[in-house]
Amino acid sequence: MRNRAKKILIVDDEVGILQLLKAILEEEGYEVEATDKGEHVERLLTEDLPDLILLDVLLSGKDGREIVKCLRAQKETRTIPIMMISAHPQARETAFASGANAFLAKPFEIDDLLDKVSQYCQS
């Protein structure tokens, strides 16, 4: 019997990147939910929690680092692995400081993304 597909939530306000990541991860067999609105994250986490969250550091309307801090403060979401992504040079340190498990600098190699995702989505 096959295990259920691992679920990934992607949050990035650049729609092109969002669509590309969604297509790549779905091609790899992941179940993907995506939003370009940081303020939608809490609403999306009310039902079936993801196995991993891919989160842009700088989102219009809401800072990704604040979203991480909020998720870490809640019992239901504090253990979900979060990988932050950003093109901003100083983002790595602030991503980890806010509670992210991993960081990937934009632009990134697809293989690097898939390697990191598989680390957090192993059965």
CB 14 within 8 A of CB 56: yes
Q: Which domains does the chain have, with CATH numbers?
A: 7-120 (3.40.50.2300)
Q: Give the DSSP letter of residue 99.
A: T
How is residue 91 written in tokens?
């983002």
| pLDDT values of the chain reduced to their tens digit, one per residue, 123 residues | 456 789 999 999 999 999 999 999 999 999 999 999 888 787 777 768 999 999 999 887 778 999 999 999 999 899 999 999 999 878 999 999 999 999 999 999 999 999 999 999 985
Grouping H, G, I as helix, E, B as strand and the rest as coil, residue 54 is: strand
- Cβ contacts of 73 within 8 Å, gap of 6 or more: none
